Amino acid sequence: MRCIEEPLSQRGAIERFNKELSSLNQPLPSSLLWVITRKSDNSKIGLIGISQRKIFENGWELGVILSKDCVNQGIAKEVIEGLVNKILVKIGIDKLYGRIKHNNLISIAMVTSFGFKNYKNDDDYSYWILTKK
């Protein structure tokens, strides 16, 4: 995009995204994916996305992947907070689901701090839901 026009600020990108969504007049795609970049040098450090999943009765599952050197630095919490508060509310997604391996205590603590509630477990995963009011 840098060859086409000046890069957008974060606010400008969100405003443009919302404008484009409202002009489409059609349903959201079944998945959306964003690249996570480091603020200091704009390097790519991970991905965050949401996808409609049959295991959640076509509800939206949240997923975050970070490079190992970025884990446990508050980055995932920051990007999830931004996604939930700035984007999902605007496009009308009021429930998010997630699956976390039982031994991933850092992620479990983080989603709990956002208000996700554990609603079931199986041999590999705990299942979580966040309902926005």
Query: By C-alpha distance, which of 46, 50, 43, 7 is closest to 29?
Result: 50
Query: Is pLDDT at 30 greater than 70 in this prediction?
Result: yes
Alpha helices in the chain (DSSP H): 10-24, 75-82, 89-91, 105-114
The domain segmentation of the chain, as residue ranges, is 30-131
What's the CATH fold of domain 30-131? Aminopeptidase (3.40.630)
Render pLDDT for 103-114 as a digit per residue (tens, 0 to 9).
989 889 989 998
Q: Is the pTM of this model over 0.85?
A: no
Q: What angle do CA 20, 24, 29 make, to 5 degrees?
A: 90
What is the pLDDT, as a whole number, of residue 1? 38
Q: What is the pLDDT of residues 49-86, one digit of tens each?
A: 999 999 888 899 999 989 988 888 889 999 998 888 87
CA–CA separation, 119 vs 130, rounded Å?
A: 10
